[in-house]
């Protein structure tokens, strides 16, 4: 609107100047008209400057808007990258935490397996020790059995019958399982025990018991020297000093022992049950 008004003013000014040049009567108005023309031209110049500035401002605004849009796009991209990076770091942290838990679980599992291996190793060592002890004990038993068997005698039915004394003074004792005699089978003095057959199931059971008894060796136990399965007879070594019952029951043979002597006797009895190679 301003441009149009200025253009109109310029046109009017040119028309007046042209008219004044032709009409000398109004020449005195020329200076004023010239000033109006100059003002209009200045207004047009300013308007042109304003238009240029407006165009430049518009361009700058467009450039600024473009730059702002680009910055927003870049900012959005950076935000997405930051979020992606944060998510990646978070996932990486979660993966590291999972791996850490897995390593901890594996460490605990290895420790548990190590404890089990130690326990198994201890058990194996104990088993090895027991095996060695058992083997030594078995060898000792077999050796004792061999020694016992070498001194063990099988007596016949007739030898037992011939060895049974008729005189009552040779009857050493009688119990619920049989009678004990002082006899001399094959010229050797023994304590012969004839068992009551009713107390046994049969010859097989008797032989099993004999197999066990002939292996027993102890300083405080009499040795089984022989047997007769037909007569259920057992031949033990003869003790001329009498039986344990005689020592305990007969007044003339009783002796008192001190507490130290009693303890020493108990220790000797217990230690005698241990094979020599296993004694400390």
Per the CB < 8 A criterion, the answer to whether 232 and 194 are in contact is: yes
Q: What is the pTM of this model?
A: 0.40
Per the CB < 8 A criterion, the answer to whether 210 and 178 are in contact is: no
Q: Which residue ranges are tagged as binding site for ATP?
A: 193
Residue with tokens 């002082």, as numbered in its chain: 182
Provide the residue ranges of all domains of the chain, joining segments of one domain with +: 2-81, 152-255+273-278
Q: What is the pLDDT of residues 106-153, one digit of tens each?
A: 999 999 998 888 888 888 888 888 888 888 877 776 665 555 555 788
The CATH class of the 152-255+273-278 domain is alpha beta
Q: What mean pLDDT is reported for the chain?
A: 76
Q: What is the pLDDT of residues 57-110, one digit of tens each?
A: 888 888 888 888 888 898 888 888 888 888 888 888 889 989 989 999 999 999
Average pLDDT over residues 3-12: 54
Per the CB < 8 A criterion, the answer to whether 226 and 235 are in contact is: yes
Q: Which residue ranges are tagged as binding site?
A: 193
DSSP string of 62-130, one letter each residue: HHHHHHHHHHHHHHHHHHHHHHHHHHHHHHHHHHHHHHHHHHHHHHHHHHHHHHHHHHHHHHHHHHHHH
């Amino acid at each position: 609107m301003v441009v149009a008004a200025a253009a109109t003013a310029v046109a009017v000014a040119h028309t007046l100047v042209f008219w004044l040049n032709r009409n000398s009567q109004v020449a005195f108005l020329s200076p004023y008209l010239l000033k109006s023309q100059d003002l209009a031209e200045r207004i047009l110049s300013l308007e042109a400057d304003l238009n240029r500035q407006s165009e430049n401002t518009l361009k700058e605004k467009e450039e600024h808007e473009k730059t702002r849009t680009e910055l927003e796009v870049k900012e959005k991209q950076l935000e997405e990258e930051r979020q992606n990076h944060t998510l990646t770091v978070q996932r990486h942290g979660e993966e590291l935490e999972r791996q850490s838990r897995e390593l901890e679980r594996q460490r605990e599992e290895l420790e548990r397996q190590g404890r089990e291996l130690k326990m198994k190793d201890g058990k194996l060592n104990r088993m090895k020790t027991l095996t060695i002890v058992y083997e030594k004990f078995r060898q000792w038993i077999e050796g004792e059995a061999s020694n016992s068997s070498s001194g063990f005698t099988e007596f016949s039915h007739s030898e037992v019958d011939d060895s049974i004394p008729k005189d009552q003074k040779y009857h050493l004792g009688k119990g619920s399982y049989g009678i004990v005699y002082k006899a001399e089978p094959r010229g050797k003095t023994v304590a012969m025990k004839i068992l009551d057959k009713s107390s046994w199931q049969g010859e097989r059971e008797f032989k099993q018991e004999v197999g066990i008894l002939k292996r027993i060796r102890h300083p405080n136990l009499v040795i089984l020297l022989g047997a007769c399965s037909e007569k259920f007879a057992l031949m033990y070594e003869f003790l001329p000093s009498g039986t344990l019952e005689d020592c305990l029951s007969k007044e003339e043979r009783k002796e008192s022992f001190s507490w130290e002597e009693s303890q020493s006797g108990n220790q000797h009895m217990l230690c005698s049950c241990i094979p020599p190679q296993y004694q400390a």
